[in-house]
Amino acid sequence: MTLLAKSSFLKGKMQVGLWMVVATVSLCAPLTNAAPIYKVVDEQTGQVTFTDRPQSYEQQAGKQVSQITIATGSETSRSAGLNTTTNPNTSRQSSSATQTATTTKPPAVNPKNTAPVNYQLAIIEPSEERAYRRPVQNIDVNVQIKPALQAGDSASIYFDDKEVAQGLSTSIATVDILPGAHTIKAVVQSETGQTLEQITRTVYVIQNTTTLQDNKRKAEQLLAYQKLAWYQKLMLKLRQQEIAKSQ
């Protein structure tokens, strides 16, 4: 067989195998945007369900389906707490005045004899009836308290009655959370462990079927790519480079 004939035979073989993968998107392409979330209300029982597949409920009688707006964790703005800032210049002036003048110390106050502070809690994030897609979205929690925590008092955040953080803010991963309704609770306690104030909120976690489908498609594409011959992989790579240059 002549050299020209061998070249024509190899080119034809490469074109036959290439049709299997030319339509395949790049393995490094980003995932498609997640589908919108829909809220389904049973008109008889009042039960609320969140889903990204409303087709399953639209044909059922007594089901009210509506689309809700969901913001990702990166779009959530955290409210600033009630912080106090000390001016260093004022502190130095106060220290100098103390060294040059004799002052009368106020009578000591026993903190254990003071009445408990009447705290007011507000959950800024998450908002009411918030739904999250597992495993891609985290549950960002941000609690506001007035007045500021006093010495000896502490704040904690609970998820389904399990303490997940100390303080007024945290981020909870949904990768290991089962779909369904879950409870977030913020609690303020005294130094002796007495509960001074608490607030709860219900959030919903749903399975991100769009992500599962994208992962399955990427796995199929990777398997198809691994089965290609070396010359087919080379042709695919050259094709991707040509597409990138044209864009």
Q: Where are the domains of the chain?
A: 34-69, 70-80+114-207, 209-247
Residue written as token pair 């607030």? 199
* Residue 84 CB burial class (10 angstroms; 0-12, 13-18, ≥19): exposed
Give the pLDDT of residue 48. 84
Residue 30 has pLDDT above 50, yes or no: no
**N residues, the chain:** 247
- Averaged pLDDT, 172-199: 93
pLDDT greater at residue 47 or residue 100:
47
Residue 209 pLDDT class (50, 70, 90 cuts): low
Q: Which CATH class is domain 70-80+114-207?
A: mainly beta
The secondary structure element, H or E, covering residue 129 is: none
pLDDT at 56: 76
For 50-66, the pLDDT digits (tens) are 888 787 787 788 888 88
* pLDDT score of 24: 45
Report d(CA 174, CA 181) in Å as an integer.
12
d(CA 69, CA 89): 48
Q: Give the pLDDT band of residue 183 (cuts 50, 70, 90).
A: very high
What is the per-residue pLDDT for 212?
61
In 79-161, which ranges are E strands? 120-125, 130-134, 138-146, 154-159
Residue 182, φ and ψ in degrees, nearest 5: -140, 155
The Cα 227–Cα 219 span in angstroms is 13
Asked if 1 contacts 179 with a C-beta cutoff of 8 angstroms, the reply is no
pLDDT tens digits, 114-131? 677 899 999 999 988 788
